[in-house]
Chain A
Amino acid sequence: MSQIRDSIDRFQKNTFLFEELVKRDFKQKYKRTVLGMAWSILSPLLNLLVMSLVFTQFFGRNMEHYTTYLFCGNLVFSYFRESTNSGMNALMANSSIFSKVNVPKYMFLLSKNISSLINFGLTLCVFFVFALIDHVPFGPHFLMLIYPVCCLVLFNIGMGLILSALFVFFRDITYLYDIFTMLLMYMSAIFYTVESFGPTVQKLFLLNPVYCYIRYFRIITLEGRIPSLSYHLLCAFYVVLIVGIGGLIYRKYNHKFLYYV
């Protein structure tokens, strides 16, 4: 009984800390400006505009629903990039706190993830508007989009755990990660289709978790069907793997981060 009360108590304390951290991160990020928030939605849209212009006008891509196809990739990938990039800094930016006060360190990461999640949510709404304009057939199967979104949120948190820990140990990770994300972007079939490759190469694409989540979005919106069960399992597998590794690192180094800051 007292154990239950203890854990409720701890949960309440942690939610309070979490809320305050989220508030702080928001104020830090947007510096209390209205435009700051608007910009973070506007920037992926402008990105999309440029890409769709370049690929339809200059490269003459004439695929049906190409804007929606492009938007799927852009939406997922920009959320992944923003969330992991801000998550990377979560520990270092708060080093003066956790070296002086005993707080659960993953809180810093979760709170950083919240603002990119909100951005993602807003962009997702814009995405639906675009899909509607693009005459994409809507249906109840769209509800299944909750699944890849949940996977993506957890996957990003897992990547954040790994990256923020690595960033404490090696400060040049940020440059290496920039190169890595660029490579990953080109391997995620954001603006091209994988159909031009052979079946083996198409399978290889599935080794890229971000591509898997992008593809889930496309299967629902463009192909109008729900992916197979094994595809769901693949999505979940990446989440478990990455969150598992991140969790283990945090567990092992929880009290050692301090030496490196």
Chain B
Amino acid sequence: MPIIKAEGVSIRYITGDFRDIGLKEYVMRRLKGNFHVKEFWADKDITFSLERGDMLGIIGTNGAGKSTLLKAISGIMVPTGGHMEVHGNIAALLELSSGFDKDLTVKENTYLRGAMLGYTRKFIEEMYDEIIQFAELEDFQDRPFKQLSSGMKSRLAFSIACLVNPDILILDEVLSVGDGAFREKSGNKMKQILASGVTGILVSHSVDQVRDLCNKILWLDHGKQVAFGDDVEYLCDAYEQFLRSKKLPTSEEDMKKLAEGHHNWLAAKRQENARKEAEKIQKAIESDDSEAALQAALQIIRKNRPELLAENIQ
């Protein structure tokens, strides 16, 4: 049974200048007949399904409807059309540090966040030490939240969401939080969680991260579904080429062309690098500096064909 199943999900936003007008202005505009509400489809006809243990990567440029789709999955929004089915409890990390109260302490905020994610007090009490430890905030437990650095805030949010064993974990641009060390730790934690059978959804602008973590890809563009599939490498190749060429694939053939294009681009880049390196050696030889030439050649071998080196032959 799929954990998450979306069938032709469409979400319509209403926009217009009704947001900040008051009741008086609203009545006036209604009377004059110039009250206008615009509609626009943030997502149109999205269909996908995830099994237990899947990790879905959602890719797409800004304004593709990724975050809106996540809101529909986490139940904050209801699809205007189509059908969304979700089984299991969700820890959603949409825009990390929102929802924390700046005057409450770290400890109080942890409890509040835990409550909002739908856990019981007993459970949070059991997990509290582990959460603080993972976030490396042991010395800050009684500090007001506003005194924390933004990195610390994100670390806390990440730790709470990850350590409470959700069935479904939604991550919106969050793996880029904290410093290098924490990023590595959180990446490892993610892999560990996914190995334990949690279903995950990752929105990221880093294609490499998506390649690294995901086994399914959903590609959105301006609210429309470009592709959904489990051939991660192929789709990511096509997406990266799309980012350069800005040509949206309309058919399977286009997609193949894009993926090929990416391969060609990679090959061309490799060739370009090789050419540059060759030039370097050439220059060194020409200036009659054989030591430098030797060093450069060695470096190239070390980079491209490490297996040829004696230190690696055992």
Contact = CB atoms under 8 A, between A and B. Distances in A.
Contacts, number: 85
B76 A100 contact: yes
A2 interface: no
Interface string B6-30: 0000000111001111111110000
Interface in A1-59: 12-13, 16-17, 19-21, 23-24, 27-28, 31
A100 B99 contact: yes
B239 to A, nearest CB: 27
A31 B144 CA distance: 12
Interface band, chain B: 35 or more
Given A12-B120, A173-B22, A17 B115 contact: yes
A169 B27 CA distance: 13
B274 interface: no
B101 A24 contact: yes
A63 interface: no
B141 interface: no
A40 B190 CA distance: 48
A260 interface: yes
Contact of A170 (B23, B99, B121): B23
Contacts of B92: 100-102
A258 B101 CA distance: 19
Interface residues of A, number: 31
A31 B124 CA distance: 25
B27 to A, nearest CB: 10
Interface string B129-146: 000000000000000000
Contacts of A13: 115, 118-120
**Is chain A's binding surface mostly helix, strand, loop or mixed?**
helix
Q: Which of B22, B90, B95 has the most chain A CB atoms closer than 10 A to its own CB?
A: B22
Interface string A91-104: 00000111111110
A23 B76 contact: no
A64 interface: no
Contact of B76 (A12, A21, A101, A176): A101
A259 interface: yes
A68 to B, nearest CB: 39
A203 interface: no
Interface of B: 13-15, 18-26, 74-78, 90, 92, 94-95, 98-99, 101, 103-104, 108, 111-112, 114-121, 124
Interface of A: 12-13, 16-17, 19-21, 23-24, 27-28, 31, 96-103, 166, 169-173, 176, 255, 258-260
7 contacts: A21-B112, A24-B104, A24-B112, A98-B76, A101-B94, A259-B14, A260-B18
